[in-house]
Every structure is written in structure tokens, then in C-alpha cells.
């Protein structure tokens, strides 16, 4: 039995997200065909998800999300916060059986005063200088 699972869903696939996984956690992605069919994902999108997972070196487990998590029987599941209502409903169902911690994504850019940016274009002109650097220019 694994104590903590870090469940990555398709709205949280980024290399920066891997930094949230502790060494004593097991990082997994559940390849749920039923979920994909209900979302209407194209083959192109599925290939993108798979290639991203391969680059991130996350364990991929095929099956129904709820059943896989029950089978693995962790003490705790950690996953990333999302605005996606379908994934949030899945998280609520998981919480009926297992303790779930919601983790917030790492900041896209750090230490950027956005109070004077009323339009995205002005914000992006300032943020883009950091956004494409590793860890938002930190390190």
C-alpha cells in the first residue's frame, strides 16, 4: 500500500508541476478511456497527453480512475487544483473514499506587480520576459 499518491490529471501536465511531488510520493496518471470518450478528446489530443506524460516520466496506469485509486488504496491522494468541473466532480467522488489534498500550481512568473496592468497586453509585455525562463527566472 502506497501512503501518498500524486494523481496528475490532464489539466495539470507540466514539468513545473513535477516539483510539487515529494520523494516519498508516487506520481501517477490514470489513462481512463471512459473519461476521454465523455470529453470527446481527439486522437491528436490523446497523443499530446501521452507524449507529455512520457517526457515527464510519470507512471501511467490504464483503467477507470475511481477503481484504480480504490485498488491502489493510498492513505492520501494529492492532485492539482483546476477550474474544470468534470475533474472537480471526480475529485469529490474520490474524497468519499480517500483523503484528498488539493495543490495549487506553481506560479507562472514570480514577483510581478500586476496592480498597474489593466489589460492583458500590458501584463504580457512585462511577464513574457520571465515566463520563458526556467522557473520564471528564479534559480
pLDDT of residue 138: 46
pLDDT of residue 118: 67
Q: How many angstroms separate the CA atoms of 67 and 82, rounded? A: 21
pLDDT of residue 92: 93
CATH code of domain 4-103: 3.40.50.620
Q: Domain residues of the chain, as ranges?
A: 4-103, 108-139
Helices marked H in 4-137:
33-39, 43-56, 65-72, 85-95, 120-131
Q: How many angstroms separate the CA atoms of 74 and 57, rounded? A: 20
pLDDT of residue 3: 87
Q: Which residue positions in the chain have pLDDT lower than 50? A: 1, 136-139
Q: How many angstroms separate the CA atoms of 2 and 77, rounded? A: 10
Amino acid at each position: 500500500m502506497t501512503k501518498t499518491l500524486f494523481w496528475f490529471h490532464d489539466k495539470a501536465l507540466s514539468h513545473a508541476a513535477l516539483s510539487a511531488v515529494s520523494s516519498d510520493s508516487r506520481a501517477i496518471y490514470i489513462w481512463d478511456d471512459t473519461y476521454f470518450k465523455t470529453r470527446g478528446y481527439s486522437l491528436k489530443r490523446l497523443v499530446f497527453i501521452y507524449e507529455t506524460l512520457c517526457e515527464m516520466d510519470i507512471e501511467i496506469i490504464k483503467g477507470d480512475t475511481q477503481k484504480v485509486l480504490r485498488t491502489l488504496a493510498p492513505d492520501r491522494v494529492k492532485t492539482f487544483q483546476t477550474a474544470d468541473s468534470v475533474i472537480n466532480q471526480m475529485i469529490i467522488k474520490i474524497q468519499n473514499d480517500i483523503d484528498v489534498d488539493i495543490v495549487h500550481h506553481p506560479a507562472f512568473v514570480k514577483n510581478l506587480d500586476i496592480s498597474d496592468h489593466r489589460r492583458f497586453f500590458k501584463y504580457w509585455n512585462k511577464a513574457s520576459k520571465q515566463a520563458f525562463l526556467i522557473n520564471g527566472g528564479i534559480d
